[in-house]
Amino acid sequence: MTPKKTENALIELIERTFGAVRSKALVLAVGDDAALWSPGPGYEMLLTCDWFLEGSHFLREKHPPDAVGWKSLARAVSDVAAMGGKPCCFLLSLALPASLTGTWLSTFLRGVRRASNELGCELAGGDITQQDKILISITVVGEVRRQNAILRSGARPGDLIFVSGTLGEADLGLRELQRKPGMARASDSALRKHLYPQPRLELGRWLAGKHLATSMMDISDGLSTDLRRLCTASKVGALVDASSLPGVPSAKAADARELALHGGDDYELLFTVSARNAARLPSRFRGLRLTHIGEMIPKRKIVLKAAQGKYEPLRPGGWDPFRKQSPQN
Amino acid sequence: MTPKKTENALIELIERTFGAVRSKALVLAVGDDAALWSPGPGYEMLLTCDWFLEGSHFLREKHPPDAVGWKSLARAVSDVAAMGGKPCCFLLSLALPASLTGTWLSTFLRGVRRASNELGCELAGGDITQQDKILISITVVGEVRRQNAILRSGARPGDLIFVSGTLGEADLGLRELQRKPGMARASDSALRKHLYPQPRLELGRWLAGKHLATSMMDISDGLSTDLRRLCTASKVGALVDASSLPGVPSAKAADARELALHGGDDYELLFTVSARNAARLPSRFRGLRLTHIGEMIPKRKIVLKAAQGKYEPLRPGGWDPFRKQSPQN
């Protein structure tokens, strides 16, 4: 039986874990009613929040607490990458059973701290309470130079569609995790991508700084679901060439295609570039593959060019919490 | 059986409920990866977040959905009031069962919208997912003129302690709600304060603008718990005169004292003023009573001057989610 701690004692543990504030912009962090933040001149602020819930997004008995910590912050930071911004600070709302306020909590906090250090995003505050399930909600504040943010709404017909990295790898990792007994380990690249995803911050900022992308978002719910959102926001349609998808090489061909189209949790960037500018895009950006997978079309449909040149509608088959069962069911 | 809706359909419902963005500072709201925000020159931003969870903070069968909506935003905005700031925009993280995405959700959203309009705090974004319980996490962004924010840490020995309004009234309302069968209604002022609390925004901004308060916070967990936090942050102690507490007139004397000392959810302001400046404080601010309840002392103890001039330690007896049972147990 873990001894019960008070809310104040838990707040002190969090303060100790994260240490003193380093950013000059963050003049006051944890320990008051609100944090104080001053963005630099010429910058706009980015605000985004993300749920990370036991049973829906992770399983207590399968996901190591430090991976829960890393991923809860990394996936929220990915939304800042998707706007071409730089993360600055975050608020951590945490609810958990009193029995987890010992080792589980301190290991979780170490995972959050590692993400905080590596992604350059400082803890600014939060709220902690007790619940029977582990609930995490993270708000990230970022900044982007005025006029540089890349929105979902800027794609035009004729723009080429690109994705970074490999699609479907995190979902393959989730399948491995579900198949193997016990607590998961990052024993291969698929499991590593599922447990410790890397938001594409450098690529997002480079695309924003060069004004290369006409629209952008991150792929969190799967290409088929997220591309539809990009098209809706931009009021265009899309044609995707199935043969061009950067799927997982180790999976069987049919599997790799399904994973690449519908697999969630990759946190790769999906972006469009005008045909005129496409030649300025390298095939790799600091080692990360950039793949041309199709183009935007005026007709508001999403079409997949499949094998033997057959065209078929691409239906949203990615993650939708209101349609799918949670991974534990 | 409510038909299942997709996540996209629910996001559209939220966009429709809140309508177009009105603030010039908020250049992009719901519908992209992150919101874009530009604070005015000479201002600092305030960032705060608050849980509002079924079972811990409200009961589905007792709390009307529009009160859940109002209160979830109002209590987060109260943290901005407690810094002397002005609320600007908020992010709504919502998780709920698919069966509540019909009437419950639209009534809840109307409550949030009313608070949003009355408190001047626009929806900037959020995240929605499915869960078996209703989970709400709200992040509020506010602004305050540089150097004007009132922190918890500024109280000095000799400063006088003040509170706004009446203490313990919301807790009395909670007791009534627990006693009466069925869905609660705001049938008297105690129930109204429990269901639809009013953050003390005008008072907070006035105190900040006049540089009158040396420290401030809002009373969300009860005076005995929150005063201790103020003292810890300011590295001082406090002496509170029990006979001066602005308790609920309708309650019995002993009850009124307990409610005033330990009752949570009032969202009144607790602040300190130097002895020199205390005469500049009116006894009422725009109809809201301001009561002198004690003073800060150098010795780091919290002492209550009780009946017959007896002094006793004031132990934290307010709401602590890690010590107390939730209201449904």
- Report the percent of chain B where pLDDT is more than 70: 93
- Report the percent of chain B where pLDDT is more than 90: 75
Q: What CATH class has A152-313?
A: alpha beta
* Rounded Cα–Cα distance for residues B78 and B66 (Å): 18
Model pLDDT, residue B101: 92
Task: Look over chain A and give the mean of its residue pLDDT values, rounded to a whole number.
Answer: 90
Tally of CB atoms within 10 A around B208 = 22
What pTM did the predictor assign? 0.91
Of B37, B56, B127, the CB nearest to A131: B56
Contact check, Cβ <8 Å, A33/B152: yes
| Mean pLDDT across B272-290 | 97
Tokens matching residue B183: 């869905």
Task: Tell me, yes or no, if A49 comes closer than 8 A to chain B by beta carbon.
Answer: yes
CA distance A23 to chain B (A): 14
Q: Which residue of B has its CA nearest to A217?
A: B33
Contact check, Cβ <8 Å, B141/A47: yes
**Are A7-145 and A152-313 equal in CATH topology?**
no
The pLDDT-based confidence of A2 (bands split at 50, 70, 90) is: very low
* Rounded Cα–Cα distance for residues B249 and B239 (Å): 23
Task: Tell me, yes or no, if B148 comes closer than 8 A to chain A by beta carbon.
Answer: no
Choose from A32, A75, A151, A153 for mutation: most chain B CBs within 10 A. A32
Task: Tell me, yes or no, if A100 comes closer than 8 A to chain B by beta carbon.
Answer: no
Indicate whether B325 pLDDT > 60.
Answer: no
Q: Which residue of B has its CA nearest to A82?
A: B33
Q: Are strands A122-130 and A86-96 parallel, antiparallel or unpaired?
A: parallel
The pLDDT-based confidence of B96 (bands split at 50, 70, 90) is: very high
Indicate whether B5 pLDDT > 80.
Answer: no
Q: Provide the H-helix boundaries in A120-221.
A: 169-179, 189-195, 201-209
Model pLDDT, residue A156: 98
Of A79, A125, A146, the CB nearest to B33: A79
Model pLDDT, residue A252: 85
Contact check, Cβ <8 Å, B91/A48: yes
Indicate whether A325 pLDDT > 50.
Answer: no
DSSP tag of A242: G
CA distance A287 to chain B (A): 25
Task: Tell me, yes or no, if A285 comes closer than 8 A to chain B by beta carbon.
Answer: no
Model pLDDT, residue B159: 98
Cα dihedral: B94, B98, B100, B101 (round 10) = 70
Task: Tell me, yes or no, if A61 comes closer than 8 A to chain B by beta carbon.
Answer: no
Indicate whether B39 pLDDT > 70.
Answer: yes
CATH topology of domain A7-145: 60s Ribosomal Protein L30; Chain: A; (3.30.1330)
Task: Look over chain B and give the mean of its residue pLDDT values, rounded to a whole number.
Answer: 90
* Rounded Cα–Cα distance for residues A28 and A32 (Å): 8
Task: Tell me, yes or no, if B80 comes closer than 8 A to chain A by beta carbon.
Answer: yes
Contact check, Cβ <8 Å, A39/B34: no
Rounded to two decimals, the ipTM of the complex is: 0.88
Contact check, Cβ <8 Å, A142/B56: no
Question: Which of residues 210 through 269 in chain B touch A, CB cutoff 8 A?
Answer: 217-218, 229, 232-233
Chain mean position to CA B10: 27
The full DSSP string for B59-119 is -TTTS-HHHHHHHHHHHHHHHHHTTT-EEEEEEEEEEE-GGGTTHHHHHHHHHHHHHHHHH
Model pLDDT, residue A38: 72
Indicate whether A31 pLDDT > 70.
Answer: no
Per-residue model confidence as pLDDT tens digits over A211-220: 999 999 999 9
Q: Which residue of A has its CA nearest to B144?
A: A36
Model pLDDT, residue B1: 37
Task: Tell me, yes or no, if B19 comes closer than 8 A to chain A by beta carbon.
Answer: no
DSSP tag of A198: -
Q: Where are the domains of chain A?
A: 7-145, 152-313
The residue with greater pLDDT, A275 or B249, is A275
Model pLDDT, residue A256: 93
Task: Tell me, yes or no, if A127 comes closer than 8 A to chain B by beta carbon.
Answer: yes
Which of chain B's residues have a Cβ under 8 Å away from the Cβ of A79?
33-34
